[in-house]
Amino acid sequence: MSEGDFEGYGGRHVPEPLEEPLEQLANAYDEIKDTDAFQAELDKLLRDYAGRPTSLYHAEGLSERYGAEIYFKREDLLHGGAHKINNALGQALLAKQAGKSRLIAETGAGQHGTATAMVGALLDLDTEIYMGEKDVERQQMNVFRMRLMGAEVNEVTRGGAGLSDAVDAALEDFAKNIDDTHYLVGSVVGPDPFPRMVRDFQAVIGEEAREQFRERTGELPDAAVACVGGGSNAMGLFHAFRNDDEVAFYGAEGGGEGAGSKRHAAPLAEGEDDVIHGMKTRVIHDDTEVHSVSAGLDYPGVGPEHAMFREVGRCDYRAVDDESAKAAFRELSEEEGIIPALESSHAVALAKEIADDHDTILVNLSGRGDKDMEQAAALFDLA
Ligand SMILES: Cc1ncc(COP(=O)(O)O)c(C=O)c1O
């Protein structure tokens, strides 16, 4: 299996002008990633700027209710409110070292755009974000945050005006401006080297959680659960456990309107093999049908390493519908005093679903729900 090839998934399916810059990026990444200087700078920023390590929290109320010991890896406590900063810091440092002066990124829920705007401000790089019109509307607070930190936010109106269209727009920009621009891809998606690079930058989640869990309980968890949009927080959690066969993996996709509905965002549970955004993976074909209550899961493709995990049976991917995610959002708020992101609420809902089958469950709480309060106020009549 060559770099960037996940047993036939992944690869670099791009137009000719993008081949050379991607090769350069892959080489730069391979050269720089393990150097002491790069690791020291990244570790320092992850600790002092982002707030690592994040805690491992035993949710006693929820555990008692569902009859399994449920633990949360608290990525919601990071600067910016989500795991996205782990990857944004890594790639921005790499871009700086490679002599780039400009960052571009796509964003759905706005968390990756916010993380990119943060690192752009921090490292003094011009920053431009592409965001679908429909997401600009439902995640306005994050649009304001990005602008405040000096990023330009470009509203994308083509296609379904969502995350997939924002990726298309960012790829076009990248192809035109390869000399000075780094495309800071926000998940384990796209052409090589992005899926493996983003995974490596997010792997700190599972590395910390594995140590913390063992220290706390003397064992590894029976199951590890995460939500899957592009799949970066899930792969970040799973990577450290990949050879621990006793740890079952579960991925919660955006099941949208639920069983029988064609409107969902679950390419692993229900999609087909195809090429999208430069990678071979699992895809939902009709773009206009992609739907999830959470903007961050609303994507027709998924990271190729997840497609491989599905193929070989390493991870059980399930579609979690909007209603179950909303119920988990409310339940975690009321029971534990933790307001999760709507994306992360899908993982919480799946943890509830599998609680009868496992004694200990580690859930990645990928982000906090502050960005979702307007939606929550309307849903739960809080005004
Ligand atoms: C809090 C949170 N969790 C999860 C995701 C989904 O992304 P990924 O699957 O790459 O972790 C997003 C995307 O915006 C997010 O904001």
CA-closest residue to ligand 1 atom 15: 296
| Strands ordered across the beta sheet of 5-6 | 5-6, 9-10, 279-283, 272-276
Is residue 104 located within the same domain as residue 177? yes
Q: What ligand 1 atom has the least distance to the C-alpha of 186?
A: 10
Is residue 67 located within the same domain as residue 107? no
Ligand 1 pocket test, pick from 91, 111, 373 with the greatest ligand atom count within 8 Å of Cβ, gives 111
Written as one letter, the residue type at 198 is V
Question: Over the chain, what is the mean pLDDT?
Answer: 96
Is residue 32 located within the same domain as residue 59? no
Task: List CB contacts of 65: < 8 A, sequence separation 6 or more.
Answer: 335
Confidence category of residue 2, pLDDT binned at 50, 70, 90: low
Query: Locate tokens 């580690």: which residue?
Result: 362
Strands 5-6 and 9-10, how do they pair?
antiparallel
Residue finishing a domain among 171, 198, 225: 198
Confidence category of residue 289, pLDDT binned at 50, 70, 90: low
Pocket of ligand 1 (CB under 6 A): 82, 108-109, 111-112, 187, 227-234, 296-297, 341, 343-344, 366-367
CA-closest residue to ligand 1 atom 1: 367
A 10 A CB-CB count for 252 gives 31
Query: 247 C-alpha vs ligand 1 centroid, how far in Å?
Result: 22
Q: What ligand 1 atom has the least distance to the C-alpha of 81?
A: 1
Ligand 1 pocket test, pick from 116, 366, 371, 372 with the greatest ligand atom count within 8 Å of Cβ, gives 366
Query: 366 C-alpha vs ligand 1 centroid, how far in Å?
Result: 7
Q: Is residue 3 part of a domain?
A: no
Query: 237 C-alpha vs ligand 1 centroid, how far in Å?
Result: 13
Burial environment of residue 16 by CB neighbours within 10 A (0 to 12, 13 to 18, 19 or more): exposed
pLDDT score at 219: 98
Query: 229 C-alpha vs ligand 1 centroid, how far in Å?
Result: 6
Query: Locate tokens 């998606």: which residue?
Result: 189
Query: 16 C-alpha vs ligand 1 centroid, how far in Å?
Result: 30
Is residue 372 located within the same domain as residue 239? yes
Domain around 212: 53-82+203-379
CA-closest residue to ligand 1 atom 5: 296
Q: Do the beta carbons of residue 135 and residue 108 sit within 8 Å?
A: yes
Ligand 1 pocket test, pick from 75, 141, 187 with the greatest ligand atom count within 8 Å of Cβ, gives 187
**Token couple for 343:** 């994306």
Q: Is residue 213 part of a domain?
A: yes
- Give CA–CA dist 307/268, Å, rounded: 7
CA-closest residue to ligand 1 atom 7: 229
Report CA-CA distances (Å) from 243 to 203, 260, 272, 351, 361. Answer: 14, 35, 27, 21, 17
Task: List CB contacts of 25: < 8 A, sequence separation 6 or more.
Answer: 98, 182, 193
**Token couple for 161:** 């005006």
Query: 232 C-alpha vs ligand 1 centroid, how far in Å?
Result: 7
Is residue 272 located within the same domain as residue 360? yes
Confidence category of residue 287, pLDDT binned at 50, 70, 90: low
Is residue 74 located within the same domain as residue 121? no
Confidence category of residue 381, pLDDT binned at 50, 70, 90: very high
CA-closest residue to ligand 1 atom 6: 229
Q: What ligand 1 atom has the least distance to the C-alpha of 76?
A: 1
CATH code of residue 168: 3.40.50.1100
Query: 68 C-alpha vs ligand 1 centroid, how far in Å?
Result: 25
- Give CA–CA dist 11/279, Å, rounded: 6
**Token couple for 46:** 């992850």
Is residue 249 located within the same domain as residue 339? yes
DSSP letter string, 211-272: HHHHHHHSS--SEEEEE-SSSHHHHHHHGGGTT-TTSEEEEEEE-TT-TT-S-BB-HHHH-E
pLDDT score at 147: 98
DSSP letter string, 266-307: -HHHH-EEEEETTEEEEE-S-GGGB--SSGGG--S---HHHH
Q: What ligand 1 atom has the least distance to the C-alpha of 228?
A: 9
3-class secondary-structure state, position 140: helix
A 10 A CB-CB count for 359 gives 12
Is residue 90 located within the same domain as residue 66? no
Q: At what angle do helices 304-312 and 194-202 cross, to 10 degrees?
A: 80
H-helix or E-strand containing 83?
Answer: none
Burial environment of residue 48 by CB neighbours within 10 A (0 to 12, 13 to 18, 19 or more): exposed
pTM: 0.97
Q: Is residue 294 part of a domain?
A: yes
Average of per-residue pLDDT across 272-299: 89
Is residue 38 located within the same domain as residue 59? no
- Give CA–CA dist 166/109, Å, rounded: 12
Residue finishing a domain among 178, 198, 218: 198
What positions carry a catalytic annotation? 84, 106, 366
Task: List CB contacts of 362: < 8 A, sequence separation 6 or more.
Answer: 71, 73, 209, 213, 221, 223, 224, 225, 237
pLDDT score at 286: 72
Q: Is residue 241 part of a domain?
A: yes
Q: Per residue in 302-358, pLDDT tens?
A: 999 999 999 999 999 999 999 999 999 999 999 999 999 999 999 999 999 999 999
Report the percentage of the chain scoring pLDDT > 90: 94
- Give CA–CA dist 1/223, Å, rounded: 27
Q: Is the pLDDT of residue 4 over 90?
A: no
Is residue 182 located within the same domain as residue 299? no
Q: Is residue 4 part of a domain?
A: no
State how many domains the chain has. 2
Residue finishing a domain among 198, 214, 240: 198
Q: Per residue in 13-51, pLDDT tens?
A: 999 999 999 999 999 999 999 999 999 999 999 999 999
Ligand 1 pocket test, pick from 78, 84, 373 with the greatest ligand atom count within 8 Å of Cβ, gives 84
Is residue 365 located within the same domain as residue 250? yes
Confidence category of residue 288, pLDDT binned at 50, 70, 90: low
pLDDT score at 263: 84
Is residue 99 located within the same domain as residue 177? yes
3-class secondary-structure state, position 191: coil
Average of per-residue pLDDT across 209-213: 99
